[in-house]
Amino acid sequence: MSPLKPGHARAAVAPDERFMRECMKLASRGKGRVSPNPLVGAVLVRGNRIIARGWHRRFGGPHAEVDCLRLARGNLAGTTLFVNLEPCAHYGKTPPCTERIIASGIGSVVIAMKDPNPLVAGRGIRALRGAGIRVSCGLLEAEARQLNRFFLKHIARAMPYVHVKIAQSIDGFIGGERAPRYLTSSPSLRLVHRWRAEHDAVLVGAGTVHADNPHLTVRHSRGHDPHVVVIDGRLSIPEHASVLRRDRGRGVFLCVSERAAAAAKSKVQRLEARGILVLRFPAPKGVLGLREVLAALYRFSVGSVLVEGGSSIFTQFLGEGLADELSIFVTPLMLGAGVPVFGSGRRRKSPFVRFTGFQTRRVGKDVLFTTQFRQGR
Ligand SMILES: [Zn+2]
């Protein structure tokens, strides 16, 4: 890199940020395809020009750095590799990226954030520096952490990231006889379907299956159908429910109490014969512990869950501090009566939650409130 006059110091920062933003844009293309791996993009820069781009495209495929370098030839000594996550230094499904970077002869590497995965955690940076490569870390780190929030949660906590999504009328109802089939506007519907494609699984309670018989597939956006998780302590949902159809190749997790599974052995056998995973949990007061459900899902490599209903599920997730992110669509409609957002079912009280830092935006004719809870609650 050429020395810069002090007066040009600000101008020197901007292109680096542009390159790192490009990495994150490329990384985003892996949403819904690379889990439980992180989203990673890389660009190779000579002078002020990007000469190669790459990203982690699918789980088990080449990492972003290798994808970026596959076409780079010749002397790369004067080039800089930008990547939004520390390159790996261990043998996983593919050889370590640090080896590929070192072999390529690249002069500098700019990284947005360290990889908290204990298998990496600084080893990648040390390996590169040990080979004489200039390494800097921390450019746009906050954005990089936001991009990989699903990954950061499950690496740190061995639990999937939980995103609770609520669609409600102005007077606080989520459904009922007066509610239209889709409460919110079509732009909101498209956004929710995009979220479904970006999460590993969609979760609902048995009440939602009984009331709406939803498909929980991706129809109004592009992408893969997420796995389905149904919380059904009493094993009450009908065997022909739409969520139990496996014709689109996705996994179906039916979470039931041990007692209900023992009382309906033949139903369980028929469901399991169809490839449905019936997960049994102790339920001391007739209610499944969601923490145990999440831990079990994580053991099946489910790294993120979109929670879509209904009242008692929302109440339980928020009340027990299990949500990482909350999105509420408020649609300009008064229903006057129906199913309230919180507290129905088992006469639960609404949880007390103090929110800090809600963001709002318009989506179609709806208002979307979004907040994220601090990790480690
Ligand atoms: Zn790698």
- Gap from CA of 339 to ligand 1 centroid (Å): 48
How many Å apart are CA 51 and CA 49, to the nearest integer? 6
- Whether pLDDT at 6 is above 50: no
| pLDDT over threshold 80, residue 343 | no
Residue whose entry in the numeric block shows the structure tokens 């979307």: 368
Catalytic residues: 65
pLDDT value at 10 more than 50 = no
Q: Which residue has the higher pLDDT, 198 or 120?
A: 198
Reply yes or no on whether the pLDDT at 1 is more than 70.
no
pLDDT band, residue 349 (cuts 50/70/90):
low
Alpha-carbon span 44 to 178, nearest angstrom: 56
- With a cut of 50, say whether residue 2 has pLDDT above it: no
Tokens 């469901």 -> residue: 271
Q: Write out pLDDT tens, residues 20-71.
A: 999 999 999 999 999 989 999 999 999 899 999 999 999 989 999 999 998 8
Q: Please, which residues have CB less than 5 A from ligand 1, an ion?
A: 63, 88, 97
CB 208 within 8 A of CB 309: yes
pLDDT band at 7 (very low <50, low <70, confident <90, very high): very low
CA of 55 to the centre of ligand 1 (A): 11
Distance (Å) from CA 107 to ligand 1 centroid:
18
**Exposure of 208 by Cβ count < 10 A (0-12 exposed, 13-18 middle, 19+ buried)?**
buried
> Average pLDDT for residues 194-198, to the nearest whole number?
95
CA angle 230, 153, 24 (to 5 degrees): 110
Tell me the one-letter amino acid at 53. Answer: R
Mean pLDDT on 89-101: 85
% the chain with pLDDT above 70 = 93
CA atoms lying within 13 Å on the CB side of residue 226: 29
- Render the burial of 75-107: b for 16+ CB within 10 Å, e for the rest: ebeebbbbbbbbbbbeeeeeebbbbbbbebebe
**Mean pLDDT throughout 360-371?**
96
For the chain, list the domains and their CATH numbers: 6-147 (3.40.140.10), 154-372 (3.40.430.10)
CA distance 325 to 368: 13
- What's the gap in Å between 89 CA and the centre of ligand 1? 7
Q: Measuring CA to CA, which residue among 237, 243, 234 is closest to residue 214?
A: 243
DSSP, res 32: T
The separation between CA 237 and the C-alpha centre of its own chain, rounded to angstroms, equals: 27
Q: Give the residue with greater pLDDT, 346 vs 199.
A: 199
- Does position 279 have pLDDT exceeding 70, yes or no? yes
DSSP string, 177-219: TTS-SS-S-HHHHHHHHHHHHHSSEEEEEHHHHHHH-------
CA distances from 9 to 3, 13, 93 (A): 10, 7, 41
